[in-house]
């Protein structure tokens, strides 16, 4: 882009200098014809050089502008871009219809035309893009994630990924199993937060941040990962930015953060909680069933022992404080479901109440 801009502006400057020389008949203003052509050639060369330098600056600006447009387009769905373009055309059409009455206005008619076209085009394009889902539904077309029967399995729905889910790492295993398809969206502000954690002075945080960055890199080999450069400067909190982006794009959030889960539910944003999935996949345990549990520590209440199943579920055994370090047959008495997971309460098998 920079090279093309340099060449175009340099040629335009040189041609402009040639045209100006012919228009003002600069060659005949000099006494010596050979000297006149030399000076004229130097002027054309200087114009070419100035055009080349200005083209470099303009090319850099254009390159940055095109990158911003590309990033903005990546953050929008195909339906939003299409309806936005149609809205732009409608705005231009309305401006054309208003041309004659506005142009006929005395004194200000000619001055109002260009601002009118710009304002109407922007308003129609912005409104159409913002309401693209409703517009598509009016014409019988469902946009991505809006209840299309072909997409109900979620295989093509984009999913926003939270920092906590990336650092947790289980998302990579879920993707490999095929239960989570479609595109994963990791915004730039989430990557920046991961980078800040990876640069932390705390060794534990630094290791977690580096693990998160490695997970993002590994995910690219298994599924499409988008990293749009979107941000909300007026919002400082990363969780608030995720919620705002999810509401604007109509995408669910994948997370392990309990507080973000609650906030999303309050704001009617769909959440895919990895911890909820893990708890749902744990085998059901009913009162009366028997288990073998290795007791590893004391419980909070007096005379309790605590052990864990292979899937990490906590098992509390009554009257077993003195049996810590032993593997005991126990009988389930009750199961407590908490947001953090299940807790199974048991007693030693064969023991009377």
DSSP states along 31-87? S-HHHHHHHHHHHHHHHHHHHHHHHHHHHHHHHHHHHHHHHHHHTS-HHHHHHHHHH
Residue 242 contacts residue 260 (beta carbons within 8 Å): yes
Rounded to whole angstroms, the Cα distance separating 247 from 96 reads: 35
Supply the pLDDT for residue 93: 93
Residue 260 contacts residue 162 (beta carbons within 8 Å): yes
Q: What is the mean pLDDT of each run of 10 residues along the chain (353 residues)?
A: 78 81 62 62 82 82 76 68 89 89 80 86 87 78 46 59 89 83 85 89 88 87 82 84 86 88 87 82 82 89 87 87 89 81 85 65
Supply the pLDDT for residue 277: 82
**Residue 306: half-sphere exposure toward Cβ, Cα within 13 Å:** 10
Strands 327-338, 159-161: pairing kind: unpaired
Residue 209 contacts residue 198 (beta carbons within 8 Å): yes
Which residues are within 8 A (CB) of 22 and not within 5 positions of it... i.e. 6 or more apart? none
Query: Helix 188-198 vs helix 238-249: angle between axes, to the nearest 10 degrees?
Result: 160
- Of 282, 334, 287, the closest CA to residue 309 belongs to 282
Rounded to whole angstroms, the Cα distance separating 11 from 73 reads: 32
Supply the pLDDT for residue 140: 72
Supply the pLDDT for residue 28: 61
CA distances from 88 to 23, 69, 82, 132, 182 (A): 42, 16, 10, 13, 30
Beta carbons within 10 angstroms of residue 319's beta carbon = 13
Supply the pLDDT for residue 24: 63
- What's this model's pTM, rounded to 2 decimal places? 0.49
Backbone φ and ψ of 253, nearest 5°: -110, 130
Which residues are within 8 A (CB) of 36 and not within 5 positions of it... i.e. 6 or more apart? 26, 27, 28, 29, 30
Which tokens in the block code for residue 160? 């926003």
Kind and range of the H or E run holding 254 = strand 253-255
Rounded to whole angstroms, the Cα distance separating 34 from 37 reads: 5
- Of 152, 125, 148, 126, the closest CA to residue 136 belongs to 148
């Amino acid at each position: 882009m920079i090279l093309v801009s340099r060449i175009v502006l340099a040629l335009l400057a040189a041609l402009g200098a040639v045209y100006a020389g012919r228009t003002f008949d600069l060659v005949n203003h000099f006494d010596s014809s050979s000297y006149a052509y030399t000076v004229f050639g130097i002027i054309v060369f200087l114009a070419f050089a100035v055009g080349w330098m200005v083209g470099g600056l303009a090319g850099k600006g254009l390159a940055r502008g095109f990158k911003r447009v590309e990033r903005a387009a990546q953050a929008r769905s195909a339906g939003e871009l299409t309806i936005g373009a149609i809205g732009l055309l409608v705005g231009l059409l309305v401006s054309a219809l208003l041309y004659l009455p506005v142009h006929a206005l005395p004194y200000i008619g000619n001055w109002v035309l260009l601002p009118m076209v710009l304002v109407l085009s922007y308003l129609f394009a912005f409104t159409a893009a913002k309401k693209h889902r409703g517009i598509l539904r009016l014409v019988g077309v469902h946009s991505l994630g809006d209840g299309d029967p072909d997409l109900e399995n979620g295989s093509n729905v984009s999913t926003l990924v939270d920092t906590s889910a990336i650092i947790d790492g289980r998302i990579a295993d879920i993707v490999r199993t095929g239960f989570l398809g479609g595109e994963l969206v990791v915004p730039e502000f989430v990557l920046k937060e991961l980078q800040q954690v990876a640069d932390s002075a705390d060794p534990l945080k630094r290791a977690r941040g580096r693990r998160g960055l490695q997970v993002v890199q590994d995910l690219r080999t298994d599924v499409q990962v988008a990293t749009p450069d979107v941000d909300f400067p007026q919002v400082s909190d990363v969780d608030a930015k995720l919620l705002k982006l999810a509401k604007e794009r109509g995408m669910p959030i994948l997370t392990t953060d309990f507080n973000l889960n609650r906030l999303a539910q309050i704001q009617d944003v769909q959440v895919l909680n990895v911890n909820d999935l893990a708890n749902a996949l744990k085998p059901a345990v009913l009162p009366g069933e028997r288990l073998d549990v290795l007791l590893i520590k004391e419980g909070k209440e007096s005379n309790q022992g605590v052990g864990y199943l292979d899937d990490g579920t906590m098992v509390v055994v009554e009257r077993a404080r003195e049996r810590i370090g032993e593997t005991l047959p126990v009988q389930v008495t009750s199961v407590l479901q908490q947001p953090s997971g299940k807790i199974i309460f048991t007693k030693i098998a064969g023991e009377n109440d």
